[in-house]
Structure 1
Amino acid sequence: MQISVIGCGYLGAVHAACMAKLGHDVIGVDVNAEKVRLLTRGTAPFHEPGFDDLLAEQVDSGRLRFSTDFAELAGAQVHFVGVGTPQVEGGYAADLTYVNAAVDSLLPHLHPHPDGPTLVVGKSTVPVGTAAGLAERIAPTGALLVWNPEFLREGFAVQDTISPDRIVYGVPQDAEQARAAQDTLDEVYADLLRQQIPRLVSDYQTAELVKVAANSFLATKISFINAMAELCEATGADVTQLAEAIGLDDRIGKKFLKAGVGFGGGCLPKDIRAFMARAGELGVDQALTFLREVDTINNRRRDHVVQLAQHAVGGEFSGTRVAVLGAAFKPNSDDMRNSPALDIANRIAGSGAQVRITDPQAGAVLAQRRPDMDVSSSAEEAMRDADVVLLLTEWDEFKNLDPETTRSLPAHPVMIDGRNVLDPAQWRAAGWTYHGIGRP
């Protein structure tokens, strides 16, 4: 099929390449000329495992191309919209500027297609009720709107697109339109459906809610175990053993029960806040008041790590050296949006410490964006002469550090393990003072 993808950031670029991998003829459109130039060369503008090879392969195949010109997508039958919905400046709500601009730019190029209905397929995470309004704007062109939320995990985006755990369609109310839209999107995802991947067909509102509900639940699990970590620290209990014990209950499960510095990135923080804001607009804000505490607990973990580091250096940061291992919000990514590691580093530097920060992928990006920060090329370089070391992103390079050989690098061998990924006994035996999160 001929497919367009509007918005070639993280979501859009991965989706475009994966659709080409499935055999479709795909054009990605973005207003950022530099991004389009890089993608056209087969060069990814961000780090995502497996994506560089996939992108180059599909560009070379001729099935995937990129442009800044919306007129080039006029022949496509299915148009995916995958632009960002950041948090509005000064508020919690989602900013729909990019979604509205994408649809406005698309409308003049929506035409009947000889092989079936023309579809506009929303993938962006939007407040419930958005799709219905967009469908009304699209209706005069004869095109149909489907809402098809994405469930990508950074670091696993290619896998999650090619082999997702579920596919959700939000289709029009009209039964005939719903069937036509479903049949067309089934053709797009034919290879995935042959894998027996579950497909759920719903109305627009339910499809919009699926993504934010899932993210809110995951955020709640993370903040729950971090709240337990606070109790463990007050009582001398071990949150890692506690998480293992409750995770063995199959009603709860082990995933997302790792205490640490909390969640960040471009999805969970802004999605739960936008969810709360939308609930308020709908007059049901009390239904989601618990998410305010989820958000508060998450931010409190960052405060706690700063306090641990301050205590470790004698109560004052001024004149001290602090090594921060990690800048990305999670490993296998160079995404620093709302990164706990970067936020903690900024707070400590703002309190007068000399901070050296390192990250295997985000380090180069950080050095370019923030020339004011001291970015080291390796963990060993960052740790040299430090008064305290903070492990804040669980890259394998940091998890596999040898406490024996690194013992002599810092001025004071103090390790604050903000992700609970190191063996406390091993590090203490090597002469380090070790502090975990919620661990005795």
Structure 2
Amino acid sequence: MARTKITVIGLGYLGATHAAAMAELGFDVLGLDVVPEKIKLLEQGRTPMFEPGLEELLRAHAAGVGGSTGRLRFTDSWAELGDFGDVHFICVNTPQKHGEYACDMSYVDAAVESLAPQLTRPALVVGKSTVPVGSAERLAARLAELAPAGEDAELAWNPEFLREGFAVHDTLHPDRLVAGVRSARAERLLREVYAQPIAEGSPFIVTDFPTAELVKTSANSFLATKISFINAMAEVCEAAGGDVAKLAEAIGHDDRIGRKFLRAGIGFGGGCLPKDIRAFMARAGELGASEALTFLREVDSINMRRRAQMVELTREAVGGALLGKRIAVLGATFKPDSDDVRDSPALNVAGQLHLQGAQVTVYDPKGMENARALFPTLGYAASALEAVRGADTVLHLTEWREFKELDPATLGDAVAERHILDGRNALDPQVWRKAGWTFRALGRPTA
């Protein structure tokens, strides 16, 4: 029997990773995107974003790269896609609507509208994008209506759970696979696609459409809540003179709570958590269940408040007025091992300081180009040492390993004042204080 052929629609962060991983699992894969420049990059085995291990996978499988398996090709033709594939993964973006909390479904809808007329034989269309609950039901009906194959063009929902910086690992070795399906055939095809991870022990959870859609938004909401909980405790620690790092360590030993996501700091950002919890609140309101998620408003509020608190701590550190003060910001991405600056708390803080008159210089190991495009008026340096030169205060806002390994004495010789604010609670206060620095972190004692 011929091996299932796979297509991937949308070759951004999720789609490019999924396409390369499917080729790594041995499938012939055809990826589609509407941006020619993106296709050209991927054909050369290069990525439009930084993700550890992804370029290596592309070079191993992209047909345009010499010495590769040739299992991975790219196109902008919907007709070619429909003719090629048995299983079609939709991996397009679902951003927050401008001026609203709700999710913008226009890219997903456009993908279905373009793909469906090309499906002349039985096919499985698999949604991976994060969507409001109820979307799959609507899209399945539209798919059957538009596809020449009719009801033989089925829909399934298979949410992604990728962590930026670990996306390749999370695709090839997922901690769980969720399949929202309506038929034994759809389940069988997805089990075939994920046969290797399932054989390695990844749980395969079969659900209905609404549950599959809710799993992703529920998981993100829980993680966001846990982050905001410890940041709320940091606010109480600051008021009471406690140490949130020790508090987190103590409660983390309770295995019902766990240690992960309990590091207080300037909060979460990125292209997923903030917009996903807001879209979840909006959808719950549409369903008449808004009261169930009112707590997420406070989760969001706590998160945004931490950024403002970091600005205020910086103002205190430079003597009460930011105008003309030189501030070094270490970190631009929303998390380490990524070049993603979408809704980055680090850049948000840097931008606020700049707007209030400070001279801000930013350094990040991977996010400089994206940061410059988003905040062109900030200053940028080629290294951490260059960024801190002449600074009145240094802010550590993204927990890159490079920053943890910095020598406080060397940096101390370059700054105007040895003040450092750790917005991620990732540096060792004793090491910095021994080197003569005034060290401050959110939710921790000043000495």
Say whether the fold is shared (TM-score over 0.5): yes
Contact 2:181–2:208 (CA under 8 A) maintained in structure 1: yes
In structure 2, distance between residues paired with 1:368 and 1:189: 38
Q: 1:106 aligns with which of 111, 115, 135?
A: 115
Contact 2:351–2:375 (CA under 8 A) maintained in structure 1: no
In structure 2, distance between residues paired with 1:12 and 1:154: 13
Aligned to 2:167: 157
**How much does 1:369 deviate?**
5.0
**How much does 1:95 deviate?**
0.3
In structure 2, distance between residues paired with 1:184 and 1:216: 30
Aligned to 1:383: 388
Deviations 1:113-152 (A, max 9, x none): xxxx410000000000000000001124321100000000
In structure 2, distance between residues paired with 1:368 and 1:241: 39
In structure 2, distance between residues paired with 1:180 and 1:67: 28
Aligned to 1:232: 237
**How much does 1:107 deviate?**
1.0
In structure 2, distance between residues paired with 1:55 and 1:317: 46
Q: 2:70 aligns with which of 62, 71, 75?
A: 62
Aligned to 2:65: none
Contact 1:366–1:375 (CA under 8 A) maintained in structure 2: no
Aligned positions of 1:11-160 closer than 5 A: 11-59=14-62, 60-74=68-82, 75-112=84-121, 117-140=122-145, 141=147, 142-160=152-170
In structure 2, distance between residues paired with 1:433 and 1:27: 55
Q: Secondary structure at the match of 1:165?
A: coil
In structure 2, distance between residues paired with 1:365 and 1:207: 33
In structure 1, distance between residues paired with 2:119 and 2:329: 50
Aligned to 1:260: 265
Q: Secondary structure at the match of 2:395?
A: strand
**How much does 1:182 deviate?**
0.5
Output the TM-score relative to the length of structure 2.
0.95
Deviating beyond 4 angstroms after TM superposition, the runs of 4 or more aligned structure 1 residues are: none
Contact 1:386–1:411 (CA under 8 A) maintained in structure 2: yes
Contact 2:340–2:370 (CA under 8 A) maintained in structure 1: no
Deviations 1:21-65 (A, max 9, x none): 000000110101111110111111100011111111111211001
Q: 2:194 aligns with which of 186, 189, 194?
A: 189
Say how many residue pairs are matched. Answer: 431
In structure 2, distance between residues paired with 1:91 and 1:408: 48
Is residue 2:302 matched to residue 1:281? no
Q: Secondary structure at the match of 2:413?
A: coil
**How much does 1:365 deviate?**
3.0
Letter in 2 for 1:293: E
**How much does 1:111 deviate?**
2.2
Is residue 2:178 matched to residue 1:168? yes
**Identical residues among aligned pairs (%):** 60
Gaps of 5+ in 2: 63-67
In structure 2, distance between residues paired with 1:367 and 1:209: 36
**How much does 1:313 deviate?**
1.0
Is residue 2:223 matched to residue 1:218? yes
Aligned positions of 1:394-405 closer than 5 A: 394-405=399-410
In structure 2, distance between residues paired with 1:232 and 1:313: 23
Deviations 1:234-265 (A, max 9, x none): 11111111101101100010011010000000
Q: Secondary structure at the match of 1:182?
A: helix
**How much does 1:317 deviate?**
1.0
In structure 1, distance between residues paired with 2:254 and 2:75: 50
Aligned to 1:272: 277
**How much does 1:399 deviate?**
1.0
In structure 1, distance between residues paired with 2:211 and 2:370: 38
Is residue 2:220 matched to residue 1:202? no
Letter in 1 for 2:10: G
In structure 2, distance between residues paired with 1:395 and 1:71: 44
**How much does 1:373 deviate?**
2.3
Letter in 2 for 1:280: G
**How much does 1:401 deviate?**
0.9
Output the TM-score relative to the length of structure 1.
0.97
Aligned positions of 1:366-381 closer than 5 A: 366-368=371-373, 370-381=375-386
Q: 1:297 aligns with which of 297, 302, 322?
A: 302
Deviations 1:133-176 (A, max 9, x none): 0000112432110000000000000000000000000012xxxx
Aligned positions of 1:1-16 closer than 5 A: 1-16=4-19
In structure 1, distance between residues paired with 2:413 and 2:391: 10
Deviations 1:351-390 (A, max 9, x none): 1111000100001332355442211111100000001000
